[in-house]
Chains A and B, each alone.
Chain A
Amino acid sequence: KQEVTQIPAALSVPEGENLVLNCSFTDSAIYNLQWFRQDPGKGLTSLLLIQSSQREQTSGRLNASLDKSSGRSTLYIAASQPGDSATYLCAVSLIKAAGNKLTFGGGTRVLVKP
């Protein structure tokens, strides 16, 4: 059974500092890994999708890496801003699973202090 873990559960940094968010998964037979952002009481916003054949993906200040062999992904957010305060979730889809099913980590709640 695939398990996805995100540590730490919460993180507080001063504005301008780079953010490093970690995600680990137990089954390396994944199709892809997706990072999401969730604001309180809201839905999920897709940030980055990394296919299993890729090592990293970049979008603006965001960069996500994937190491399937070690079962890890890292999301880097450069020069954090107060608007980056949110919960960040990673999710994987498994090759063995039929169709679209994501297994989520518990999330990392980020607070960027002005």
Chain B
Amino acid sequence: KAGVTQTPRYLIKTRGQQVTLSCSPISGHRSVSWYQQTPGQGLQFLFEYFSETQRNKGNFPGRFSGRQFSNSRSEMNVSTLELGDSALYLCASSWGGDSDNEQFFGPGTRLTVL
């Protein structure tokens, strides 16, 4: 059974640009969550999608957005990139919509903003 996949694995962008990251969950999983990991702030929750609906959102500015498709694949978009957006972006998938589900993470996308 394939794990969670994320593309691309590495990205280099400049300030002001926008970027789209993709996440394919484990087959059969309907929930996809996104996290940002930085050395200073650790792992922080961005948002979660379940059945194409955003169900939960962390404390990030509106420049961070996402969506989920009918096949459960998810994308997140960051517009008007800032230097502080440089981070490892991780997505996690789980089977259902309850908080008691085990979550499985992908390898991450390393975003560098110059």
Binding site for B on A (CB under 8 A): 31-32, 34, 36, 41-46, 49, 51-52, 89, 91, 93-95, 97-107
A39 to chain B, nearest CB (A): 10
Residues of A within 8 A of B18 (CB): none
Q: Bound complex: CA of A52 vs CA of B100, how far in Å? A: 9
Binding site for A on B (CB under 8 A): 4, 6, 31, 33, 35, 42-43, 45, 48, 50, 55-56, 58, 88, 90, 92, 94, 97-108, 110
CB–CB A107/B42 < 8 A: yes
B47 to chain A, nearest CB (A): 9
CB–CB A100/B90 < 8 A: no
CB–CB B43/A89 < 8 A: yes
Do A31 and B100 contact each other (CB < 8 Å), given the known contacts A41-B110, A100-B33, A107-B42? yes
CB–CB B99/A34 < 8 A: no
Residues of B within 8 A of A44 (CB): 90, 92, 105
What are 10 A-B contacts with C-beta separation under 8 Å?
A31-B99, A31-B100, A32-B102, A43-B90, A95-B99, A98-B56, A100-B103, A102-B33, A102-B92, A104-B42
Do A43 and B42 contact each other (CB < 8 Å), given the known contacts A32-B100, A98-B56, A100-B48? no
